[in-house]
Amino acid sequence: MQPGDVRAFLGKKAIVAAFGIWAAKDRSGYIHIHMTGDNKNFRHITVCNNPNSKLRYNKVLFRDLRKLLIAYDKWTYQGE
């Protein structure tokens, strides 16, 4: 699957969707996890580990995406 690919389960109310996910630090030093899909139905979104951010902070989503990146050896911020 490539980012943007979607596969529907027959007779079910669910899909499998491919997203690109990666981590990067912003200018202030906080890590942001980026997700992108097909840029039509699912555009680029960001979640961060900055508790002072009102728009992008989501502790649980950040934790789970971080675990996913670590599981596939794509987390480059050891100890963070």
Question: Which secondary-structure segment (H or E) carries 15?
Answer: strand 15-17
**pLDDT digit string, tens, across residues 59-72:** 999 999 999 999 99
Give domain status of residue 57, yes or no: yes
CA distance 8 to 48: 30
| Domain count within the chain | 1
Task: Determine, yes or no, domain membership for 68.
Answer: yes
pLDDT in tens, 15-46: 888 888 999 998 888 999 999 887 778 888 99
Residue 30, in any domain of the structure: yes
Residue 1 has pLDDT above 90, yes or no: no
Domain that holds residue 43: 20-80
Q: Which residues contact 70 (CB under 8 A, 6 or more apart)?
A: none
